[in-house]
């Protein structure tokens, strides 16, 4: 297996293959990218993996003030491609500064990988979008060309509280921050603690 990190004009070399994989991955669940040119315009860093002389998977990222947001993930549909995607999702979402808004299969993969989760109450601020909370970790938002989609935000955006599922504390922080005591947030990161008190 080989891995490629492409940016700038280098991405054009892989555009046709990535577009084919994008269509194969997203056609049944909803495509919000209308043409290959949009991939180049919207996603600055492409993480590609392959074997046997062909690309098997893609992960396209946007650079934001909070880090690298994984925007699109998919494969060529082969067993090898799907395996690479599973591995990359678990690995990348556990890296500081990498995060992803997920639904469908990617959400399931992130949960299985025990990736850190961002509370749904913080999702709108992180994304700069209007969201409707469903529960502590799930929210709905309008996705152009698709409609309302349920999402979960995983990873570790810089300066935003996130934690593994078994350590995540959303209620106390989101619902009543003025009544939170130091005991309630003992396991939260220092950055969040200093903003609350």
Q: Do residues 59 and 87 share a domain?
A: yes
Q: Residue 147: its pLDDT value, please?
A: 86
Q: Do residues 65 and 22 share a domain?
A: yes
Q: How confident is the model at residue 31 (pLDDT cuts 50, 70, 90)?
A: confident
Q: Do residues 32 and 67 share a domain?
A: yes
Query: For residue 179, is pLDDT > 60?
Result: no
Q: Do residues 72 and 129 share a domain?
A: no
Q: Do residues 1 and 77 share a domain?
A: yes
What is the value of pTM for the model shown? 0.80
Q: Do residues 80 and 123 share a domain?
A: no
Q: Do residues 11 and 78 share a domain?
A: yes
Q: Do residues 4 and 86 share a domain?
A: yes
Cα–Cα distances in angstroms (integers) from residue 30 to residues 24, 33, 90, 150, in the given order: 11, 9, 23, 13
In a domain, 197, yes or no: no
The domain total for the chain is 2
In a domain, 138, yes or no: yes
* 92, 123, 155 - which closes a domain: 92
Digit-coded pLDDT (tens) for 62-112: 999 999 999 999 999 999 999 999 999 999 999 999 999 998 888 999 999
Mean pLDDT of all residues in 161-171: 93
Range of the domain at 68: 1-92
In the chain the first and final C-alpha atoms are separated, in Å, by: 49
d(CA 124, CA 145): 20
Q: Do residues 78 and 136 share a domain?
A: no
Q: Residue 182: its pLDDT value, please?
A: 41
Q: Do residues 105 and 179 share a domain?
A: yes
d(CA 175, CA 145): 32
Percent of the chain with pLDDT over 90: 73
Q: Do residues 3 and 62 share a domain?
A: yes
Q: Do residues 84 and 115 share a domain?
A: no
């Amino acid at each position: 297996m080989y891995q490629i990190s492409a940016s700038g004009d280098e991405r054009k070399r892989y555009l046709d293959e990535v577009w084919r994989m994008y269509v194969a991955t997203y056609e049944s669940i909803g495509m919000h990218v209308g043409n290959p040119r949009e991939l180049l315009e919207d996603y600055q860093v492409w993480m590609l993996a392959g074997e046997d002389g062909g690309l098997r998977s893609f992960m396209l990222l946007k650079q934001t003030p909070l880090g690298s947001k994984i925007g699109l993930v998919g494969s060529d549909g082969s067993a090898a491609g799907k395996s690479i995607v599973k591995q990359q999702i678990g690995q990348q979402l556990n890296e500081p500064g990498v995060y992803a808004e997920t639904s469908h299969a990617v959400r399931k993969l992130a949960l299985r990988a025990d990736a850190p989760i961002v509370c749904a109450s913080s999702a709108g601020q992180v994304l700069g979008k209007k969201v409707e909370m469903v529960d502590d970790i799930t929210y709905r938002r309008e996705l152009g060309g698709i409609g309302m989609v349920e999402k979960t935000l995983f990873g570790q955006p810089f300066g935003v509280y996130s934690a593994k599922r078994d350590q995540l504390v959303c209620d106390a922080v989101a619902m009543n921050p003025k009544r939170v005591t130091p005991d309630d947030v003992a396991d939260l990161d220092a950055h969040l603690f200093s903003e609350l008190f």
